[in-house]
A and B are shown apart, each in its own frame.
Chain A
Amino acid sequence: MANYAQIVEIVAPDKAVQGSRVDVTVKIKNTWTGSFRIYCVAVVDSTRFIDWLNEVVAPGAIREFSGAFIMGGADVRILAQSWYEGTDGYLYRDDEKTKSVKLAELVAAFSEFRINDYIKV
Chain B
Amino acid sequence: MAIETLELALDPVQAGWYYDPDTGQWYYYDEEGKRYFYLAGLFYPVMEWETAPKVVNVRHGDTLRISVSFKYSGPSKTCKLYGSVGQKSAFNIFDEILTATSPSFTLSESTEPKTYYRQVDIAITTAIAAGKYYGIYAKLIDGISFKERVTGSVALEGAIFVVSAEPTFSDFQITDYAKV
Contacts and interface: CB of A to CB of B under 8 A. Distances in A.
Interface of A: 17, 19-20, 106-121
A109 B68 CA distance: 17
Interface of B: 56-58, 62-75, 77, 109, 111, 113, 115, 117, 121, 136-140, 144, 148-153, 156, 159-160
Given A113-B149, A113-B150, A115-B153, A108 B75 contact: yes
19 contacts: A17-B111, A106-B75, A107-B74, A108-B73, A108-B77, A109-B73, A110-B70, A110-B72, A111-B70, A112-B70, A113-B140, A113-B149, A114-B149, A115-B136, A117-B66, A118-B65, A120-B63, A121-B64, A121-B65
A111 to B, nearest CB: 5
Contacts of A107: 74
Given A108-B77, A113-B153, 15 more contacts: A17-B111, A109-B113, A110-B71, A110-B151, A111-B71, A112-B70, A112-B71, A114-B68, A115-B66, A115-B137, A118-B66, A118-B67, A120-B63, A120-B64, A121-B121
Contacts of B64: 118-121
A109 B4 CA distance: 30
A121 B113 CA distance: 31
Contacts of A108: 72-75, 77
A12 to B, nearest CB: 16
A35 B92 CA distance: 76
Grouping DSSP codes into helix (H, G, I), strand (E, B) and loop, the A interface class, with mixed when no group exceeds half, is strand
A119 B159 CA distance: 10
Contacts of B115: 112
A106 B153 CA distance: 25
A88 B8 CA distance: 76
B68 A113 contact: yes
Contact of A111 (B65, B68, B113, B121): B113
A120 B65 CA distance: 6
A95 to B, nearest CB: 33
Contacts of A121: 62-65, 121
A29 B118 CA distance: 53
B138 to A, nearest CB: 6
Contacts of A20: 111
B32 to A, nearest CB: 12
Nearest to A104: B111
B27 to A, nearest CB: 22
The residue in B67, B115, B144 that gathers the most chain A C-beta atoms within 10 A of its C-beta is B67
Contacts of B151: 110, 113
